[in-house]
Structure 1
């Protein structure tokens, strides 16, 4: 059966907990990649925090500050080259490309990056207005409630220079990427976070290492996640804020007809956050994809076929929470006014609201009807799908002349699948003649 839904990428199949006890060679590469990404992210954070500290500390002498920053940049470039060369040497005796080679290089990069992060954190050390005497606690679990209690405590325990990450629109329409800048701590608008008292499922505290902690705040929903970075010096201090929301100023004016302004903004957020999530480069991969689904569902309230199809497909991708059956069917029905939507509706009639159904088509007549509609709207995928079902009898009717006709329609549009289908059927029976597809 033609698969029209996105499959779960292999790298996403390994949860972080799966790497706490590696006992299979299949875990080596994805776990080492996760470790390398985490270390690279922390290295990038430490580097930008250092640049922020230099900008803040040398405001009185910008020329000297610029010289210091340029020296750090040159040093970092040289160090990255040294790291990569060293790790290639470490894995030299293993055949390049083998899992053991990839794992060793990744783990080497991870280890060296962690050491480099610690080194960068010690350059031009920052201070906060608080002193040891006014430090709420060296224990982060006790520090966090005291820090978040009010605007004054947050301001007092925020570093002089803070790394700020926000999502910015790129020149590629609908695509957004993180942009990192440095801001003086005193220029921020306090309070930065709502008070945190006790344990809550929507606030996650992550230990990066002995001197770095992250607080992932999801209280405003998956579309408005903020991550607060803390570093420990004489006391814990806020040194970075990551805003993983898409502000309205980064979105274009509503352009999709038939949608309200809110639905238009939801569609743009769905595209942008989903695009970031499917890169699988950020620790919020799951949350970004879930936010994409939530926003597609919002946009689909308009009945827009593209938003409806995207929501239905994402629900069945195994990368986002699965919507209830009635909702998925309604989305496919709304999407079926387009060729791709009609084909999606056809496969829904066969598979139902299942991500791994492998039995016979549940509703073959309805599936064939929708596939024919998709073909009539010019979908070559639907032509190949119908050809496949008539060739196999999957929808209850095995009809090789009709299968050949469908494949030929697709082949006439130079599709590889159609050409291969025609070649296969003719090689099996040179006397076979095409009848009709529709």
Structure 2
């Protein structure tokens, strides 16, 4: 991600502290007196951070402080005037502290300094004002870790859940902030969502892509947005729907143009519909009716509209009635979500009767996973409950399964997931997918009946 803390349309210089290479000797202070290092803000900040002894001389009195505190379910911003600034606040503007703590310091003209980390856990805004010299007059601490601890304590949560919550709180706090904090809150919101996505949280991945595409936060590279939406689409219908749109417009919402990748867009839209999104069924109806995704079929369009209508979309019901009035009839052989010719899995021979060899092919091939997953497949998920989490079981038919069931190698590497065979006999085998040092753990259970096949998935993540 290329972070840019400037606001689009405003020609404000954004200078990284590291870009200012100056000699601290140029700002030497005479004994007993703190001379103004420079009237140029960027040069002043360089000297200010290099010389902690003289910092108090360039702090206004009183100073306005603001911070976020926990008040029940909703955090609140509190402000107060203090005659002197706590030493810790000034220490955080020390070049040594910044270097040792792993934080970054950004200078934005004409008079702002931002201190943050890369996960969204720390965000502070320092505002200076010029008189005889520059003086620090306002400190805003938007960091949310104490708020999150007060709200969630040490409760167990799914991997990345805390980062997801942090990102959502930053987003909400933009309504209580002014410039430039509002822009920085969106940056920290994105950083938090990316942190959650890296921990394997699908909601955080979808949120990161969404806030980036909104224009409120820095725009990520298309390859990263595609990765995030693909991750989110594993479990979220709205992420699959967004992925379908991204395959077509690649995040460019200008003049209408032909879909960039209609086949992938259609597959993602069908996945969203299979995951329970009625609006995806309606969109599929429109795509089949108009042929915008490479297939024009009025009978399938009717089937999609009727399926959406059965889920409560009255506009789809109206459109279905219009098609029926034109003489279009339902064809049972053409359901909305039928496989496309290119999607039909070819008859596959058993990759191997040796499980290690079989699984080496199975884990990297969605086609093999489809062919050698037995349906209905049993899935157990762990849900939070009192007095302790419990597992809920369900049976899934093929239309309810989203492939690949096991993330491919690139995805596993990106997300820090490990995959290993934990148990094997002549007739059964178990594979564990986990993220070390987190609560993320999924077991895949296979059995042998002429060939190996997946029977059950147990998701122990909370």
TM-score range, shorter chain: 0.5 to 0.7
Q: Deviations over 1:137-173 (max 9, x none)?
A: 3964375555444443223443343211113345446
Residue in 1 aligned with 2:210?
313
TM-score (norm 2): 0.53
Distance 1:17 1:192 in 2: 28
1:294 aligns to 2:205 (yes or no): no
Distance 1:368 1:230 in 2: 53
Residue in 2 aligned with 1:217?
114
Distance 1:255 1:416 in 2: 42
1:164 aligns to 2:75 (yes or no): no
Distance 1:355 1:407, change over 3 A: same
Which of 289, 296, 300 lines up with 1:391 in the alignment? 289
Structure 1 residue 418: deviation in Å?
2.6
Q: Determine if contact 1:227/1:242 at 8 Å carries over to the other structure.
A: yes
Residue in 2 aligned with 1:266?
163
1:415 aligns to 2:313 (yes or no): yes
Structure 1 residue 434: deviation in Å?
4.2
Structure 1 residue 279: deviation in Å?
7.7
Structure 1 residue 409: deviation in Å?
2.6
Residue in 2 aligned with 1:374?
272
Structure 1 residue 266: deviation in Å?
2.4
Distance 1:161 1:167, change over 3 A: same
Structure 1 residue 192: deviation in Å?
4.8
Structure 1 residue 384: deviation in Å?
1.5
Structure 1 residue 395: deviation in Å?
1.4
Distance 2:49 2:269 in 1: 56
1:203 aligns to 2:101 (yes or no): no
Greater displacement, 277-286 / 293-302: 277-286
Distance 1:370 1:218, change over 3 A: same
Equivalences, count: 296
1:184 aligns to 2:83 (yes or no): yes
Structure 1 residue 215: deviation in Å?
2.6
Distance 1:359 1:150, change over 3 A: same
Distance 1:192 1:330 in 2: 35
Structure 1 residue 241: deviation in Å?
0.8
Q: Determine if contact 1:229/1:240 at 8 Å carries over to the other structure.
A: yes
Residue in 2 aligned with 1:21?
none
Q: Structure 1: any 5+ residue segments left out of the alignment? A: 1-11, 19-132, 208-213
Structure 1 residue 187: deviation in Å?
4.5
Distance 2:154 2:323 in 1: 49
1:155 aligns to 2:56 (yes or no): yes
Distance 1:234 1:304 in 2: 51
Distance 1:148 1:313, change over 3 A: closer
Q: Determine if contact 1:391/1:399 at 8 Å carries over to the other structure.
A: yes
Distance 1:194 1:305 in 2: 37
Distance 1:234 1:13, change over 3 A: closer
Q: Determine if contact 1:146/1:153 at 8 Å carries over to the other structure.
A: no
Q: Determine if contact 1:328/1:353 at 8 Å carries over to the other structure.
A: no
Q: Determine if contact 2:286/2:301 at 8 Å carries over to the other structure.
A: yes
Distance 1:360 1:256 in 2: 46
Distance 1:420 1:309, change over 3 A: farther
> What secondary structure does 1:162 align onto?
strand
Structure 1 residue 272: deviation in Å?
1.9
> What secondary structure does 1:398 align onto?
coil
Distance 1:309 1:220, change over 3 A: closer
Q: Determine if contact 2:68/2:147 at 8 Å carries over to the other structure.
A: no
Distance 1:165 1:392, change over 3 A: same
Output the aligned Cα RMSD. 3.8
1:193 aligns to 2:126 (yes or no): no
Residue in 1 aligned with 2:347?
none
Q: Determine if contact 1:403/1:437 at 8 Å carries over to the other structure.
A: yes
> What secondary structure does 1:16 align onto?
coil
Which of 243, 248, 263 lines up with 1:365 in the alignment? 263
Distance 2:61 2:158 in 1: 48
> What secondary structure does 2:68 align onto?
strand
Distance 1:340 1:154 in 2: 50
Distance 1:172 1:416 in 2: 36
Residue in 2 aligned with 1:113?
none
Residue in 2 aligned with 1:78?
none
Q: Determine if contact 2:70/2:147 at 8 Å carries over to the other structure.
A: no
> What secondary structure does 1:185 align onto?
coil
